[in-house]
Structures are given as C-alpha cells and as structure tokens.
Amino acid sequence: MILTIVKYPDPVLSRRGEPVTEFDADLRKLIADMFETSYASQGVGLAAPQVSVSKRLAVIDLSMGKDPKDRLVLINPEIIFRDGKIYEDEGCLSFPDIREKVVRAAKVRVRAQDENGQWFEMEGEDLLSRCFQHEIDHVDGMLFIFRMSALKREFALRKIRKMQRNGEW
Ligand SMILES: [Zn+2]
C-alpha cells in the first residue's frame, strides 16, 4: 500500500520518533508499505515520521527497488562512528523540488535493529553514508534544511513559501 508522504512543515517531521519495541506483523507491513511508497516516489530512503508514524524506523534502498540485496531496514538506529566530510546536493521526499548542498560525514558506522529485532552494525560511505545520516536525522526529528548554511536555508524556505502561495506545495 502506498502511504501519504507528509511535507514540511508538518509537525510530525520535527518530533523525535518513539523507539520501536514490537517486532510483529504490523511492523513488517509498515516496512513493506514504506519500501513501496519510497519506490513510487523514486526515493532512496524514507523514514517513518515522513508517513506520519512517529517511530524510530527508516528504510533505504539505493537501487530504488531494482536489487533486493540493497534493501536496508534501520530500526532504533544510531550513528556510532563518523569520519571525513562530503558536501553534495541532497533532496528529501518531504521537500519536493528542493535540492541543496549539505555537509555530511563521508563515512559512518550505524548500529540498528533489523525487522526481527536483531542488532547489527554496518558501515556506509559516500551516498550510503549520506542516506544513513539523512534518515537517522528524520527519526530524531531533524530536517535537512537545518543542516544547510543559513543562506541556503533562507533561499529554500523562500521557495517553499512561494510554492505554498501558488498552491504548489
Ligand atoms: Zn528526507
């Protein structure tokens, strides 16, 4: 089922997600729906708050559905190591048409649970590193515009206000 992706400034996006404690059929259904929703929007990642579920859960698939091995589920995730710096264009499904450069760590190590509740650790570099940081920010209630420089954020917010006025947001 394709879920509705909420846009900024929906308050659920700025709320810290609740830890996931039940690894049951409802959780697996939500995860399947989140992958389907992400693919339908040609996204590489989606966090539960973006579909109005205030929980610490995100899905990532850099292949956008082409390679099942790329499907990653991060539950109760945290970044336990970061190294280096990258500065690349970033977008977000909750900010359609906004793309701006954001500083991120070039490499991170993440600790999370999978859909069965098993803890695992995983490293990511470049795009995957960026994705980990972007999605884990979402479950913390942090949005990528607040990682931009003040000038770029002001520019993005002005563009959003203009789109809101024109009924395009
Ligand atoms: Zn996002």
pLDDT in tens, 126-165: 999 999 999 999 999 999 999 999 999 999 999 999 999 9
CB 93 within 8 A of CB 50: yes
Any idea how long the chain is? 169
Cα-to-centroid distance, 21 and ligand 1 (Å): 23
* pLDDT at site 113: 98
* DSSP for residue 59: E
- Ion ligand 1 neighbours (CB, 5 A) are 92
In 3D space, the residue among 88, 89, 84 whose CA is nearest the CA of residue 109 turns out to be: 84
pLDDT tens for each residue of 34-70: 999 999 999 999 999 999 999 999 999 999 999 999 9
Q: Percentage of the chain surpassing pLDDT 90? A: 100
Q: What is the rounded average pLDDT for all residues in the chain?
A: 97
Cα-to-centroid distance, 144 and ligand 1 (Å): 7
Overall pTM surpassing 0.95 (yes/no)? yes
Question: Furthest-apart CA pair in the chain: how many Å?
Answer: 47
Catalytic residue among 36, 135, 154, 168: 135
Does the annotation count 18 as an active-site position? Answer: no
* pLDDT at site 88: 95
* pLDDT at site 76: 98
- Beta bridge pairs of residue 47: 58
